[in-house]
Structure 1
C-alpha cells in the first residue's frame, strides 16, 4: 500500500509540474502535430526485442520532420517501467516509476495514456501496442495451447505469443530450402504449392495468454483481456492503433475496440518477434495524415522478401473500424440464415474444411471468408447474401496481404480477419464466448451455443 501511495504522489507531482506554466504548457514539452505512443509490455520473453525495436525507432527518427514525437512506455524484466522519448540520437527518460508494476492492467494503461497526453500534448495521437497476443482467448484455456507445428531439429523464429520460448531469433533452414531458394508471395489469392516439407510434430506446452499483453513480473503472471483493454483505451484520443502482437485481426477483438481508433493495423495470424520494421515506418507513422496502407505494405514486404526462407511469413490487415458494426450485422444475416436451416451446423462443422490461422493442435482462429464460403458451399447461405457479406468485408478490411505460408501453415485463404466457430467439443470456450460483444451482435438471441 505504501509503495502504491508513494507512486501516485510522485506521479501527481510530475503532472502538476508539467502544468505549472502561465499558459498551461510546459516549455520542456512543446505542443506537437503528432505523437506516437509505443506501449511496450515487455516484461516477458520479448524483453530483449524491446531494445532492438527502440533502436530501430531511433534510426527511423532520422528521417522524421520536426514537430512530431515518439514516446515509448517500456516495461522489461528486471527494471522499473519508464517513459522515454525516442529521438534520432537515442532515448531520453521522461519518467521512471519508483517500483515495478503490472504493465498489462487497465489502470496502468490509463495512467500511461494520461501521463503522455500531459507531457506530450499533440494535435493527433497514434498508438502502438507491443507485446504478446492471442486474440480473444481467455487465459485459463491452456488445454488449447499445444503447438501442432513444432519441428524436430528446426528452431523457427520466435513469434509474439511464444511466452515461454527462449529469447532468440536463430533458426535452422529446413532441408526443403537453400539460401538462394525463392518462395512466391502474394497479397491476394491462393497460396503457392511451394511450401516447407512438414516434419513430425512435437507437442509443446505454450503459455496461457489473454487477448493482449503478458507481464511475467506478476505472481501469477498478468494478462489483459478484451474488455479490460477496451476500458483502458480512451475513446477519441487515438486516430489509429497498430498491434505489434499476434492474432489481433480477430473480428471478436476488433469489434470490442471499434470506437477506440478510426483505423487499426493488425495481423490475423502470428507476428515474428522481430516485429514491425520501425526504421522504415516511423517517418510515415508520424505524419499528420499517415498512409497506413503504405505502413502495412512495408511490413509485409519486410518479411515476404526476407533472404532467410524461414522468415518469409507475414499477414497484415488494415481495418476501418467504422465498418465493424455493419460487418457484424452482415455476419448476423449469414449466421442466421445458416442456423435457421441447420441449427447444429456450427457445433458439428468439419473444421478441416475451413482455413485455420493459428498453429495449435486444436484450432480456434479461422479465416472468416473461409467459414462463410463453407456455409455457402453447403447451401446454407444464399449466394446473394454471401456476396453482400463479402462486399461489407471489403469495406471493413481496406488492405490485406499474406504470404503463402505462416511458419509452415499453408494459407490457402486469408481474407484479413479471423473468427471463432463454436464447435461442440469446445464447450468451455463456448461458454466464455457468449460473454463477448461480437457474439451478442452476430448470433440469434435464441441460439443454443454448443456446451
Structure 2
C-alpha cells in the first residue's frame, strides 16, 4: 500500500466519522454541541455548500469524496481566510441520521449543528433551505456569500416523477420553489454542482438570485466538481473567480479519456438575461408555424435520461428570424453567456456538435406546452407565448 493511498483512506475515514456523528434519539452518547449564540468575526467570504445526499449519490459515497476534497483544499490554504460551511443531508435521514451543518477548516471538519431528528422535514423544502441560509449568514458573517447547490437535478422539468433541483429521499424541489428560497439572499454567485441546470428557463427563473450562475447543460459524471481544484477560485481575493472554477471543472474532465471525457460548463451573467428575453421574444412573436426541422435541434441529453433540453441557439435559428433579429439575439446571448465549453460527446453516446451554453425546451406542437408543466414556467409566459401559435394557450 503506497503512502498516497493510505493518506486518502485516512482522510476518507476522518470525513466519514465527522459526517456521521449526529445524536440518534435512542443513543446514550453525549449530546451534540449547541449552536453558537454569537457569530465569529466577519470574513471576506463564506461559501455554503447545500449538499443533498440522501439519494444514490450518498449511497455511492460521492458526498464523502467531495468532503474529502474540500478538506484537502482547506489544508493547503485554499479558503484564503474565508469560511466553508456544508449543510449535509446525508443518507439515512429516515433511520436517525439527521442533517448536519458542518464547517470545513484546515484542521478538520467541525459539526456546528445537528438538526432535529424529524424525517417529515425535507431538505428540498423552500422553507428549510431559506432557514439554513439565514442560519449560515448569522453564524458565519461575511462581506460576500457564495452558494453551491449539490445533488441530482433535471433542469426546468416539474412533475412528480422528475426534479428541477435536488433529491431528498425521492422528494424534489421545483425551480419555482428554489427561486422562492433564494429570494433576497444576496449571493454573489451560485454554482450548480449537479446535472442539466444550464437552461434558459432556469436562468430566467433565477435571474434575481445571484449576479453569476454556473451550471452544466448536460448530464455530468457523478464525481461532480473537483473541489480540491476549484475552491481556490471561489475563495479568491476580491471577486470570486467563478469562471475560473467552471473552466477548471471542465478542464478536469476534458483531460480524461473514453466515456469519462464528458462535461459541459456555462457561466451566465444574469443581468443580461432581460436583453436575451427581449431579443428572443421578438423572434417568437414572428413564429406562425412549426418548422419540421425543429425535430433535429441539437439535444443535450441521452435517451436513458431525458431532460428535453436542446441547444438554444440551434433552436432559435430554426425559427426563421430576420437578419437583424438574429444579430440582436446573438449579441444578447454573448452578453449573457460569459463562459461556455463542452467535450465532443456525452458519455460517447450523443455527439455535442453545438453548445451555445444554454439549453431550451423545443415546442413542436402547441399541445406540448403543458408537458412537464412547461406552460407554468416564467420563460414560457414571458417569452415563448408571444408566438401567435401559442397566444390562445396561455395559462
- Same fold by TM-score, threshold 0.5 exceeded? yes
Q: Is the 8 A contact 1:247 1:269 kept in 2?
A: yes
**Map of 1:401 onto structure 2:** 341
Say whether 1:71 aligns with 2:85. yes
**Map of 1:356 onto structure 2:** 299
- RCO greater where, 1 or 2, for CA within 8 Å and sep 6 or more? 1
- Superposed, 1:36-435 pairs within 5 Å as 36-47=47-58, 48-61=61-74, 62-64=76-78, 66-78=80-92, 79-99=97-117, 100=119, 101-140=121-160, 208-216=161-169, 221-287=170-236, 288-306=238-256, 308-337=257-286, 339=287, 343-345=288-290, 349-360=292-303, 364-375=308-319, 380-407=320-347, 408-424=349-365, 427=368, 429-430=370-371, 432-435=373-376
- Structure-1 separation of matches of 2:80 and 2:271: 31
Please, which runs of 5 or more residues in structure 1 have no aligned partner? 1-12, 20-25, 141-207
Shift of 1:32: 1.2
Q: Is the 8 A contact 2:88 2:100 kept in 1?
A: yes
Shift of 1:336: 1.4
- Structure-1 separation of matches of 2:159 and 2:380: 19
Aligned residues: 348
- Structure-1 separation of matches of 2:358 and 2:163: 18
Using a 3 Å threshold, how does the CA distance of structure 1 residues 363 and 49 change in structure 2: closer, same or farther?
Answer: closer
- Structure-2 separation of matches of 1:102 and 1:363: 24
Using a 3 Å threshold, how does the CA distance of structure 1 residues 303 and 333 change in structure 2: closer, same or farther?
Answer: same
Shift of 1:430: 4.2
- Structure-2 separation of matches of 1:233 and 1:430: 26
CA deviations 1:403-449 (Å, max 9, x no partner) are 11011210010000001112228637448212111112213457443
Q: Is the 8 A contact 1:422 1:430 kept in 2?
A: no
Q: Is the 8 A contact 1:105 1:222 kept in 2?
A: no
Using a 3 Å threshold, how does the CA distance of structure 1 residues 363 and 93 change in structure 2: closer, same or farther?
Answer: closer
- Structure-1 separation of matches of 2:309 and 2:167: 20
Q: Is the 8 A contact 1:268 1:317 kept in 2?
A: yes
Structure 1 stretch displaced more, 322-331 or 228-237: 228-237
Shift of 1:66: 4.6
Q: CA RMSD in A?
A: 2.1
**Map of 2:43 onto structure 1:** 32
Using a 3 Å threshold, how does the CA distance of structure 1 residues 431 and 402 change in structure 2: closer, same or farther?
Answer: closer
Say whether 1:18 aligns with 2:37. yes
**SS of alignment partner, residue 395 of structure 1:** helix
Shift of 1:285: 0.5
Q: Is the 8 A contact 1:355 1:411 kept in 2?
A: yes
- Structure-2 separation of matches of 1:392 and 1:269: 22
Using a 3 Å threshold, how does the CA distance of structure 1 residues 366 and 447 change in structure 2: closer, same or farther?
Answer: same
**SS of alignment partner, residue 41 of structure 2:** coil
Please, which runs of 5 or more residues in structure 2 have no aligned partner? 1-32
TM-score, length basis structure 1: 0.73
Q: Is the 8 A contact 1:55 1:90 kept in 2?
A: no
Using a 3 Å threshold, how does the CA distance of structure 1 residues 431 and 114 change in structure 2: closer, same or farther?
Answer: closer
Q: Is the 8 A contact 1:75 1:103 kept in 2?
A: yes
TM-score, length basis structure 2: 0.83
Shift of 1:388: 1.3
- Structure-2 separation of matches of 1:226 and 1:386: 29
- Structure-2 separation of matches of 1:350 and 1:364: 16
